[in-house]
Structure 1
């Protein structure tokens, strides 16, 4: 009666089967605990960033490129606005905003009195 029921996780087409996990963690050896020193070459990092940007730009459609450019412009505009104000100006603007709020936003009195 129930012989045609499959038990276990559902599997998607084309996915690779996962190796079963037994829940045991491997212990790290002393060699793994020591920090590894890496030599960083700035020229390679710049080239890698440029290459990844080129690869991304090849895979994006024109609409996606325009969208990303628009987002970058908005972000730059927001950053420029934040940088243009001094701390004093920001505080004055915030106080002005708080004074314009209605009493509905005030902290209610709690307790007797």
Structure 2
């Protein structure tokens, strides 16, 4: 008896039924969704007055009370946020000080002063 007697000779057949799989195939478990929680939330949202709804919507959008968020910040994070707000205000003030026409003229002047990198200099005679 040769150790190679059990070897199947020939090409690999990919068609047909996969091995070690039941006739039903592999079934995935379905996730259970709690539909009641969504409907309860919607009904609660519509039943309250308008101010409460706006406050709740602001909470979900992240526009809630900034003081409560600032309680958890380190001093370095607070300084960083203050500095970024300050720089943003300065940038907006600078943008608002010039009109669109002035900005376009300044940009065109900047482009005119750039070297023309796409020009190929002539090398040698000819």
TM-score, with structure 1 as normaliser: 0.52
Bigger Rg, which one: 2
Q: Name the structure, 1 or 2, with higher relative contact order (CA <8 Å, separation 6+).
A: 1
Cα distance in 2 between the residues matched to 1:42 and 1:85: 40
Cα distance in 2 between the residues matched to 1:42 and 1:99: 56
Give the match's secondary structure for 1:59: coil
Q: Which runs of 5+ in 2 are unaligned?
A: 1-27, 33-41, 121-126
Partner of 1:41: 50
Q: For this pair of structures, how many residues does the alignment match?
A: 78
Q: Which runs of 5+ in 1 are unaligned?
A: 1-21, 27-35, 109-113
Partner of 1:89: 102
Q: How does 1:56-67 map to 2 (within 5 A)?
A: 56-67=69-80
Cα distance in 2 between the residues matched to 1:102 and 1:73: 35
How far apart are residue 41 of structure 1 and its match? 3.3
TM-score, with structure 2 as normaliser: 0.47
